[in-house]
């Protein structure tokens, strides 16, 4: 598929996961070390725009994708958007890219997807795909959903609310919930998220994603964390109000090969709010586990 002004920029590429499900992705760099980035809820691959330029392109090849339903990826009207489906999309993408021994980076809901994808890869004899994990403020445990997500779960109210509330107001309110330092809520970043929230079919995708979050399903994943024995870096914004830092500490204790790096004065999106500190933590981890 050739990118157009309607479905993405000239840098975009597209991968067909299944009939009716086309996934947008980008590749940055040509180096031997592979890194795959998985964004969180109500975001897209552009969430990594602040940190991607910090990776030396002659050392790293970075793979960034829009999850099914998000960004410029397909939004099938009857599509499934649960963790299992997104993990299957991720594994399908990695195999299509012939990825081998990559560092898998997941933020927020993308962290939960990354963990499940790794467990699915282990079950299917595909452990070679991932050699290291980086989990950034990962939604790895059942917890009370943020107010915006709880609102989306209410029948009719979520769809009507998204239609009634001005897009910019919705974006700014969401960013204020995830950023600790409001100076990071710049016009450029607001525009970045308006592009995510404003895509046709987005309300349906957000609602279905939230309704597919199953506490019992999460527990089936968390019970297996002890099986994950690859080097893992957990990055956490100490002021995260969405997924609080006790979950990061709990995750570090559950994963046998994990270490925790906390970012001071930072909320739920360290890769955007504190990209330099987040990059330094990741590089220190990679240097020690090369």
* The pLDDT value given to residue 198: 66
Question: Taking residues 259-283, what's their average pLDDT?
Answer: 98
b/e burial code for range 38-71 (CB count within 10 A of at least 16 → b)? bbbbbbbbbbbbbbbeebeeeebbbbbbbbbbbb
Cα(273)–Cα(176) distance, rounded to whole angstroms?
A: 12
Higher pLDDT, 4 or 277: 277
CA angle 278, 282, 285 (to 5 degrees): 140
The pLDDT of residue 165 is above 60: yes
Cβ pair 245, 238 in contact under 8 A? yes
pTM for this structure? 0.93
Question: Taking residues 187-198, what's their average pLDDT?
Answer: 86
* The pLDDT value given to residue 6: 39
The pLDDT of residue 155 is above 70: no
* The pLDDT value given to residue 143: 83
What is the average pLDDT score of the chain? 90
Structure-block tokens of residue 11: 């840098």
Closest CA to 39 of 105, 93, 95, 99: 105
Cα(47)–Cα(143) distance, rounded to whole angstroms?
A: 23
Cβ pair 135, 244 in contact under 8 A? no
Give me the percent of the chain exceeding a pLDDT of 90.
73
Question: Taking residues 208-228, what's their average pLDDT?
Answer: 84
Question: Taking residues 140-152, what's their average pLDDT?
Answer: 77
In which region does residue 217 sit, left (phi positive, over 0), alpha (psi from -120 to 50) or beta (all else)? alpha
Confidence grade of residue 4 (pLDDT, cut at 50, 70, 90): very low
The pLDDT of residue 203 is above 80: yes
The pLDDT of residue 7 is above 90: no
Confidence grade of residue 101 (pLDDT, cut at 50, 70, 90): very high
Confidence grade of residue 3 (pLDDT, cut at 50, 70, 90): very low
Helices 83-96 + 109-123 axis angle, to 10:
70
* The pLDDT value given to residue 122: 97
Confidence grade of residue 272 (pLDDT, cut at 50, 70, 90): very high
H or E stretch covering 151: helix 147-152
Cα(191)–Cα(176) distance, rounded to whole angstroms?
A: 14
| DSSP E strands, the chain | 13-18, 21-28, 33-38, 60-65, 102-107, 130-136, 232-237, 258-263
* The pLDDT value given to residue 212: 83
Question: Taking residues 121-143, what's their average pLDDT?
Answer: 95
Higher pLDDT, 70 or 144: 70
Structure-block tokens of residue 77: 């009207």
Closest CA to 179 of 144, 150, 137, 209: 137
The pLDDT of residue 67 is above 90: yes
* The pLDDT value given to residue 259: 98
The pLDDT of residue 106 is above 60: yes
Cα(247)–Cα(143) distance, rounded to whole angstroms?
A: 9
């Amino acid at each position: 598929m050739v990118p157009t002004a309607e479905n993405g920029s000239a840098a975009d590429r597209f991968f067909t996961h299944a009939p009716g499900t086309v996934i947008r992705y980008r590749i940055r760099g040509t180096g031997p070390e592979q890194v795959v980035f998985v964004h969180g809820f109500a975001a897209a691959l552009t969430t990594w725009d602040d940190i991607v330029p910090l990776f030396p392109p002659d050392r790293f090849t970075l793979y960034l994708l829009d999850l099914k339903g998000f960004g410029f990826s397909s939004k099938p009207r009857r599509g499934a958007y649960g963790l299992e489906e997104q993990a299957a999309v991720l594994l399908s993408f990695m195999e299509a890219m012939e990825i081998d021994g990559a560092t898998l980076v997941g933020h927020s809901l993308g962290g939960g997807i990354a963990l499940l994808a790794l467990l699915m890869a282990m079950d299917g004899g595909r452990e070679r795909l991932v050699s290291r994990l980086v989990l950034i403020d990962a939604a790895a445990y059942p917890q009370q959903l943020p107010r915006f997500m709880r609102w989306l779960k209410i029948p009719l109210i979520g769809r009507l609310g998204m239609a009634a509330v001005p897009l910019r107001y919705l974006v700014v309110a969401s960013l204020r919930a995830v950023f600790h330092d409001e100076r990071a809520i710049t016009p450029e970043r607001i525009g970045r998220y308006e592009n995510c929230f404003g895509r046709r079919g987005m309300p349906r995708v957000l609602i279905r994603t939230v309704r597919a979050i199953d506490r019992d399903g999460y527990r089936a994943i968390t019970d297996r964390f002890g099986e994950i024995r690859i080097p893992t870096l957990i990055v956490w914004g100490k002021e995260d109000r969405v997924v609080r830092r006790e979950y990061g500490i709990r995750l570090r204790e559950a994963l046998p090969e994990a270490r925790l790096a906390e970012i001071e004065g930072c909320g739920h999106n360290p890769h955007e709010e504190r990209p330099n500190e987040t990059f330094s933590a990741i590089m220190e981890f990679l240097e020690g586990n090369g």
